[in-house]
Structure 1
Amino acid sequence: MDSKIEWGEFKMETTSKVSIIIPVNNGEKTISKTLDSCLKQTHTNLEIIVIDNLSTDKTKEKVLEFNDSRISYNYLLEKGRSLARNKGIELASGEYIQFLDADDTLDFEKIKKALEILEGNELYSAVQCQTDYIKNNKIIKFQSPYKNKDYKEHLFLGNTFPIHSVLIRKRECAFFPENFDYCEDWYFWIKSLAGKNIYFDGDYIGAHVFIHDNNTMSNYSIMKAYYFFVIYLFRNYDLSIKNRFKRACLIYSLFLEYDLYSNKIDEIEFEIMNDKKIIFIRTCLKSNGIRTICKTYFKKEIKKNAYSK
């Protein structure tokens, strides 16, 4: 479902409670700005659930400086974004969930605008707005919602949902995979929103992502490995012929990158261990000649700073 319906057809009074879930680890420098963007929301029926997983700085003190009963501070004895978000989902009492990282912010109208679509309109499970990316106080990128007619299938080809660009009904929420280092949000969106109707507001920038530094080569290779893992896990979901072809190409090109550049990851190895096509590709890559050809190809196709060695 796209967003070709006039906004005014939905606009109505919004009173429902929204739970904002903020995982944080050593966020003393950014958490205050993040919380401030929540407290200044024009929709005021909120609970702001801060999940601190093993911070050793002054994150707790920064959170407790806010004298607002809508904020709850929760300390976990384990580290992990997925663990923290899952705990937040468990604690949430709102009808809607808004995720937010501890170094990003929401536009003050973000929640109200989304609720004006969702309240009383059961057709939609979630609303996504546009996101901007900011580095050194300059906007370097915009990400608009992917609202083509095949968006329900495209969800299985790549993640087009920045984590805080979406307001989702709590009843639709699955849980995040706690054994993932990357792409846990994409997995969550697939489990939560596959086949569901989403309203896309591509004219409104409601989510702000602040970029602090670039991924290292190691992080990039692990991220691409989990990209392969997610698309592989959902490889049997029925798609159109065109998108099945795209998915197959992605699976095998991503596997090549994984096998060439990434350290082996136990959960991935377990999942692919009996796949005959994967086994065949891995066997071929044992040939130094084929391996060299593949590396030469990927050096041309991958960003220059991704695999520098």
Structure 2
Amino acid sequence: MEYVAAVDLGGTKIAAAIAGLDGRVLGRGVRPTAAGEGPGPVLGRMVEAVQEAAHAAGLDLGGARAMAVGAPGPLDPEAGVVLESPNLGWRDVPLRDILAERLGIPVRVENDANLAAYGEYRYGAGQGARYMVYLGIGTGIGFGLVVLGRIYHGATGNTEFGHMTVDLDGPLCGCGRHGCLEAIASGTALAREARAIVARRPDRLQPGETPAAPLVFRLAREGDGEAQQVLDRFVEALGAGVANLVNGLSPDRVVLGGGVMAAGDWLLERVREEARRRAFGAQWRATEVVRAGLGGDSGLYGAVALALDTVQGR
């Protein structure tokens, strides 16, 4: 039997899979990232996660035809080097070469948001699209663009739509600039606002609850005016971001994924309406805005797809 390996390297979790040449996942493995321990131990846990997936599939990892890894960037996909990853604390780590040497199989490395986009394009909500944009609304805002079946890399191999300015006088972003989309419409931004609400009104926090995005959603549903204002701004900024994509790129599909979008279709509908209000009519009518179909597995399935491309010489 022929098969491939795939890894989605996140800031907190390493997810791995073994898949057949039809893309069907045969086994999975998971390890904590524990990025603070440095690249060496993390790489060791990546290998362990893939070995666990192979064991679950009843296969020998050494027989895999290829492996693909999604990693938080910026990175050089041609060289397989993680150039600078704030989430991991890595700089200039030759991820491809290290893993290929340890495992003895061909390895490709790609930006995690690009692979989430590719996974949705191949197996999820992006199937059939010609020009597909993916936004992952989570800790940050990941962006991926698939054009006629190929991941778009631009001149540097990295695209950072989450750091498009949407408010010139907006809050400070983790990148050091003010008013980025990520500073207003990410899970981190909602957690910041949740902490501010709790600091002013500790009674709003239920036992066992943490000041994060779900708290803002809960309070807004219960009619809390402050939380509703936070959510209104979140929707306005994210809707503006989607409209910018629709106006500037004219995709036929925009896929919204990431942990924050798990809040439900009611959030999708609000973002859709805000984007529709801001987009040009012709572009909007040609674009679908949908939720991701693979949930938290978008990046892992994208890694499967890229590994299969390697086997097929693409």
Q: How high is the TM-score relative to the length of structure 1? A: 0.26
Q: How high is the TM-score relative to the length of structure 2? A: 0.26
More helix by share: 2
Structure showing greater radius of gyration is 1
